Amino acid sequence: MSELTDMHTFSDIEAEIEAEMEADPTTKKLGVFFWICVGWIALNIVLALTANLLPLPNPNLGNYNGPQNAGPGWGHLLGTDDLYRDILSRLIYGSRVSLVVGFFGAAIGMILGGVPAMISAYRRGRIDTALNTGSYVVLAFPALVAVIAIVSFWGHSLWKITLIIGIFGAPLIFRVVRASTLSYATRDFVLAAKSLGASDTRILARELLPNIAPTIVSFSLIAVATIIVLEGTLAFLGLSVQPPTPSWGNMLYEGSTLLSGAKGQTNTWLLIFPAGAMFLLLISLNVIADKLRSYFDVSEIKL
């Protein structure tokens, strides 16, 4: 999951804009850019959910009377690929794969990694040591290689991939949530709550969770982005959902074969559009994560 570090180059540029917008710390605003990004993701999700209802051509079956490898135009807004299929339709249907794997993968990771992390960081002791060591061991493993190995044995259905990626994301989420919980678990207000007779469950849910929620939310969004890239990588290697079902990753692969003209045809658009769609989705996720983090950061240092 080394993609995580690459993601932050986007937020560096963002940080500058943010610094200007946050000159006045008393009135925090999320800003227009944040809402544009939220809108873009919302649009992606709505289109993915309603793809069947939209007047889109069949994504898997080309119209052989239509143009082949067409550029953007009125008949096909984003053009067609080498099999006469509508690229817009394939992009929208393909986004389902990215969104499902991204969001559900992160959710699985959060449940498998985040929940034990909170309990473990609060209770400490041997179980914490064991889980912590375990997470190091799994993280030391090259996740992509492991996922590729498992996928090639177990199969590449959408839900299997989601589950596998979720499981491999869990240790990373475990570490982040554990570290974040640890920084609050030893604070006086937790001890104060305990001294007032609050049960462990109550302390976890009412004292610790609200404090680490901002971290969890923004890190989950970054996890979603990372997982989408990972799924794209798998699809590019032909290890995600199988063609003709579209996914951004396998579209990228198809596009890459048409780039050099080796097949006797060239179609740059088939590479540009899925790459652009993925880029916009990822940058939106990262911007939202970053903005939310600073928005929720009510650290008293600023006051």
The interface region with another protein, picked from 66-74, 201-209, 233-241, 273-281 by CB under 8 A, is: 201-209
> How many residues of this chain bind another protein (CB under 8 A)?
22
- Burial zone of 102 (CB within 10 Å; 0-12 exposed, 13-18 middle, 19+ buried): buried
Is residue 182 involved in binding another protein (CB under 8 A)?
Answer: no
Is residue 263 involved in binding another protein (CB under 8 A)?
Answer: no
Q: Are 105 and 168 in contact (CB under 8 A)?
A: no
Is residue 124 involved in binding another protein (CB under 8 A)?
Answer: yes
The interface region with another protein, picked from 133-141, 161-169, 186-194, 234-242 by CB under 8 A, is: 186-194
Binding mask 206-225 for another protein (x = CB under 8 A): xx--xx--------------
Q: How many CB atoms lie within 10 A of CB 112?
A: 19
Is residue 303 involved in binding another protein (CB under 8 A)?
Answer: yes
Q: How far apart are CA 121 and CA 137, in angstroms?
A: 18
Q: 157 — phi, psi (to 5°)?
A: -75, 160
Is residue 125 involved in binding another protein (CB under 8 A)?
Answer: yes
Is residue 301 involved in binding another protein (CB under 8 A)?
Answer: no
Q: How many CB atoms lie within 10 A of CB 234?
A: 24
Q: How far is the CB of 299 from another protein (least distance, A)?
A: 9
Q: How many CB atoms lie within 10 A of CB 258?
A: 20
Q: How many CB atoms lie within 10 A of CB 56?
A: 18
Q: How far is the CB of 35 from another protein (least distance, A)?
A: 24
Q: Are 91 and 274 in contact (CB under 8 A)?
A: yes
Binding site for another protein (CB under 8 A): 124-125, 187-189, 191-199, 202, 206-207, 210-211, 298, 300, 303
